[in-house]
Amino acid sequence: MERSAIDVVGHYVFLASRPVILDDMGYQFIHIETFARKADSAGRSTAFVLDEAARRPDACLHVTAPVPPISVFGMSVSELRRAHDARAAEAMTKAAGKTRRIRSDQHTLAAVVASFPVPWDEVRPDRVQAEALAEWEQRTVTWLRDQFGEQLAAVVRHEDERFPHLHAFLSPTDPSMRAKTLHPGSSAKAAAVAAAKAVCPDAKAANAKGDIAYKAAMRRWQDSYWQTVGLPCGLARLGPGRRRLTRAAWQTEQAAVLTTAVLMRQADQAQRTAQEAKADLGVRSQAASDLEAKAKAAAEKAHMAIAEAKARLAEAKRAADAADAARRQVEADARREARAVLARARAEGARIVAAAEAKAAPMRRVGGWLGTFWTGFRSVERKLMATADARVAAARTSAAAEVTEAKERLRSEAQQEVKNVLTELRRTIARAEEDRKWAERRLEKAEATAKRHAESVRRAKEALAAERSARVVAETQRERFRSLWADADNAVIDMQRQSERSLRP
């Protein structure tokens, strides 16, 4: 099929038509230009370029049905216009020791156009091509940001022309808004011309050196875009028309580029997988460390619980000892009280008996009554002793039961708490061990994947080297063909001259 540059980039790139073969993908296209507020000989100015990007009807006559652009990065076109015009109106420069406003024909805006070589009619219904377009767009914007940094002001996408393409606008950050410093070829040429004039004042020779520097700088710029965007997206560096490649040679080169792109994607995926595995391993290691810390804390807690249980057991033993001592004291007090009561009873009985003996003579008739009284007194004494013994036995039994119950309760509570702590500690250690084994397996898989994809990267580098070798061979052939064409042109010129001489009278 035939595709001209106007299909790709709109109005402000004018190149001749050239044949393009699109079997799967094509070759890269990226272009950079700078513009001034004053229109050039072709009528292009910053206002016109921004009008064309914004799809004003009078600035995009080449588009059948204009559609507003899609903002991809940075400001919108209208925001960029306001910011650019405000800065340009206030920008100052120094000349001959004086500060003045910049001229209207000074270039203050740079524009980059990058095209995707698959028509919209094929991209929209094809999910694979749509994903390829999205990847190309993301890589292109990333490359532009790496190239120009904060000077990349806006990137928009047009969807109303035949081929998808991006317009990127660069706003210089220096106070004088010299946009040509953003153009790699123009800045290289200016530096080369200045260096040449410093050595030799010959303007023509200096300009020739500047042209060489311009071409070399643009070649490096295109190579950088191809290595970062074109090659990973399966695009060739150059098209077949400029190198006079046959269809078979072009298809072979495309196959090599696509294979390299696939291998590079695999290598990138392997690197991402390895990074994710490393990050996941770090997370798992942190989790294992946390579990280990928790296990240590649980062990410390268990030791503290055991120590507390021992302290509580000691306290219970002291309480039991105190209770036993109190029991013994109660028993001793009960015995003393019983002995005192008995002593008082005996003393009272002796007193009564003595009084009775004193009155024995006149009171012999009451002898039987005194015997009965003494018998009753002995019975009361035995009952008091039995009551005291029963109270002592009851106090001893109650104290022993309370001590036994306290010991058993404290022992049971301490054993249960220690058992719970040890169980939780075992579970924590088991989980930490499982996580460690899982992390080791993930790391082994990641290392194996990294090794496989390292081999893929090696093959990709070999394919890239082969493609470069093919390009060198193609360049050599092109130079040879140029030499042959020059020889043929010289031969034709000689024949014409001979014919003219032969026709002269």
What is the DSSP code string of 316-365? HHHHHHHHHHHHHHHHHHHHHHHHHHHHHHHHHHHHHHHHHHHTTTTTGG
Which pair of structure tokens corresponds to residue 344?
Answer: 């008082």
Residue scoring higher pLDDT (280 or 473): 473
Look at 347 and 120; give whichever has higher pLDDT.
120
- Tell me, what's the pLDDT at 15? 30
Token pair for 34:
């700078």
Residue 241 or residue 59, greater confidence: 59
CB 188 within 8 A of CB 129: no
pLDDT for 360? 56
| Weakest-pLDDT range from 74-83, 308-317, 447-456 | 308-317
Residue 489 has pLDDT above 80, yes or no: no
Please list, in sequence order, all residues whose beta carbon lies within 8 angstroms of the beta carbon of residue 419, skipping any fewer than 6 positions away. none
**Residue 375 Cα distances to 350, 357, 368, angstroms:** 14, 17, 11
Does the pLDDT at position 18 exceed 50? no
Beta bridge partners of 99: 94
3-state DSSP call for residue 156?
Answer: strand
Q: 3-class SS at 101?
A: strand
* Partners of 314 in beta bridges: none
Exposure of 300 in the CB half-sphere (CA atoms within 13 A): 6
Q: And the tokens for 390?
A: 């029963």
478: pLDDT strictly greater than 80: no
- Mean pLDDT rounded to a whole number for the chain: 77
Three-state SS at 18: strand
In angstroms, the Cα distances linking 214 to 184, 200, 479 are: 8, 19, 21
**Range name among 3-12, 34-43, 97-106, 430-439 with the lowest pLDDT average:** 3-12
Q: Across residues 439-454, what is the average pLDDT?
A: 80
pLDDT for the residue 464: 76
User: Strand pairing partners for 71?
Assistant: 156
- Percent above pLDDT 70 for the chain: 68
Could you report the per-residue pLDDT of 244-262, keeping only the tens digit for each?
Answer: 555 555 555 555 555 565 5
For residues 286 and 289, give the distance between their C-alpha atoms in angstroms, rounded to a whole number: 5
Residue 89, pLDDT score: 92
Q: With residue 98 as reference, give the H or E element that holds it.
A: strand 98-101
Q: What is the mean pLDDT of residues 70-77?
A: 94
Q: What is the pLDDT of residue 259?
A: 57
Cα 70 from Cα 53, distance rounded (Å): 10
| pLDDT of 141 higher than 80 | yes
Rounded to 5 degrees, φ, ψ at 160 are -110, 10
Q: Could you tell me where the DSSP H helices lie in 124-246?
A: 127-148, 184-199, 203-225, 240-243
pLDDT in tens, 309-319: 667 667 766 77
pLDDT at 436 over 90: no
Instruction: Answer yes or no: is pLDDT of 6 > 60.
Output: no
The one-character DSSP state at 112 is: E
User: Containing H/E element for 95?
Assistant: strand 92-95
Amino acid at 181: T
- Specify the DSSP class assigned to residue 229: I
Of the pLDDT bands very low, low, confident and very high (cuts 50, 70, 90), residue 12 is very low
The pLDDT confidence band at residue 95, using thresholds 50, 70 and 90, is confident
Judged by average pLDDT, the poorest of 12-26, 88-102, 189-203, 345-359 is: 12-26
Confidence check: pLDDT of 363 > 60: no
Residue 16 is predicted with a pLDDT of 30
Among the listed ranges 8-22, 113-127, 133-147, 470-484, which one has the minimum average pLDDT value? 8-22
What does the pLDDT read at residue 471?
74
Greater confidence (99 vs 380) lies with 99
- Spatial contact of 402 and 324, defined as CB atoms under 8 Å apart: no
